[in-house]
Amino acid sequence: MSDKKVHSVKRAVEVAARAFAFRKFNEVTVAEISQAAQCSTTTIYAIFGNKEGLFLEAMTHLLQTQVPEVRLNNRSALCRLVSFAEARVRSLSSPVVRGAVRAISGQIDTARTLVDHLAEQQCGKVIAILEPQIDACVQHNLLRPLGSDNLAYAIMAVTAYEPIVFGMLYGNDQSVDITGVLRKAFTPLVTPSGEVMLNQLLDEGPAYGVLSLASRNPPQHYQSTGRA
């Protein structure tokens, strides 16, 4: 495949991801994606087989880009852990991800394999990011010694549940209380000394290296125009 065709296919996936995230599956056509991406319908069908195949590739592309990085700075491990958790909640609360979740839930028979694959892949990636910070927190008596895997899964579950459920139930009309989600995620896991530091982080936010919190910087809602 020529470089030109590779780039056109990549554009088609990116255009399709945004289209499927903000519009119903049946409202999106391969023809409009072809036109917007400057990628022929012949190429799209040759690569992806049909619209369902393009949908799966588009959702995979969209959700694989949603794992934030840990900010490696001279702050405490708990600060880095909370910063990552906040970035994760923000990412999962974004209009695009909410749209992707709704799109997948509307095509669950088509997307079931994709959901299982992404869940396994994302869990492994997030755990690899969290475990070094968790181990450091346990060593410094900031997190309870419940096992790195157990702590990582607890943080992942709580930081994902509310953003995803809100996205499915309310779309982009109701924002997530990010500070509240972080308190729910960490309060049962921290030691008494860890709780003191956690409260400082959540109360003072950026002064402790945590990304700006929802109460200080509410997310901007996407206003769909009905077009990709």
Domain co-membership, 126 together with 154: yes
Looking at per-residue confidence, does 63 or 210 come out higher? Answer: 63
User: CB 58: neighbour CB atoms within 10 A?
Assistant: 25
Q: Which residue has the tokens 């419940």?
A: 146
Q: Mean pLDDT, to the nearest integer, of 54-83? A: 77
pLDDT at 216: 33
What SS3 class is residue 18? helix
pLDDT digits (tens, 9 = 90+) for 163-222: 878 777 776 667 888 899 999 999 999 999 999 999 998 987 644 444 433 333 333 332
Question: Do 48 and 157 belong to one domain?
Answer: no
- DSSP three-state, residue 53: helix
The proportion of the chain whose per-residue pLDDT surpasses 70, expressed as a percent, equals: 78
Q: Do 162 and 178 belong to one domain?
A: yes
Domain contains 220 = no
Q: Which helix (H) or strand (E) holds 196?
A: helix 192-204
Structural domain contains residue 216: no
CA 213-222-181 angle, to 5 degrees, is 30
Q: Are residues 202 and 91 in the same domain?
A: yes
Using DSSP's 3-state secondary structure scheme, residue 143 falls into strand
For 200, the token pair is 């400082």
Asked whether residue 49 falls in the same domain as residue 105, the answer is no
Domain CATH code at residue 99:
1.10.357
pLDDT tier for residue 223 given thresholds of 50, 70 and 90: very low
Burial class (CB in 10 A: 0-12, 13-18, 19+), 101: buried
Nearest to 186 by CA among 207, 213, 157: 157
- The answer to whether the CB of 181 falls within 8 A of the CB of 89 is yes
Q: Which position has the higher pLDDT, 192 or 153?
A: 192
By residue range, what is the domain housing residue 154?
A: 66-208
What's the alpha-carbon Rg for the chain, to the nearest Å?
20
219 within some domain: no
For residue 143, the cross-strand partners are 190
- Same domain, yes or no: 203 and 118: yes
* pLDDT at 206 (0 to 100): 47
Lowest mean pLDDT among 12-21, 98-107, 188-197, 208-217: 208-217
Q: Which of 10, 33, 11, 7 is nearest to 20 (CA)?
A: 33
Residues 146, 125 share a domain = yes
Helix (H, G, I), strand (E, B) or coil at 190: strand
- Any residues with CB less than 8 A from the CB of 74 and at least 6 apart, and which? none
The answer on 147 and 83 residing in a single domain is yes
Instruction: Kindly give the interhelix angle for 148-170 and 178-186, rounded to the nearest 10 degrees.
Output: 150
Q: Which two tokens stand for residue 69?
A: 């990085």
Per-residue pLDDT, averaged over 61-87, amounts to: 75
**Shared-domain flag, residues 38 and 80:** no
Residues 188 and 84 in one domain: yes
CA 2 to the chain's CA centroid: 32
- Cβ proximity of 177 and 218 under 8 Å: no
How many distinct structural domains can be found in the chain?
A: 2
Does residue 40 fall inside a structural domain? Answer: yes
Judgement on whether residues 101 and 200 belong to the same structural domain of the protein: yes
Look over the chain and give the mean of its residue pLDDT values, rounded to a whole number: 80
Arithmetic mean of pLDDT, 136-142: 96
Dihedral in degrees, nearest 10, Cα atoms 225, 221, 92, 98: -40
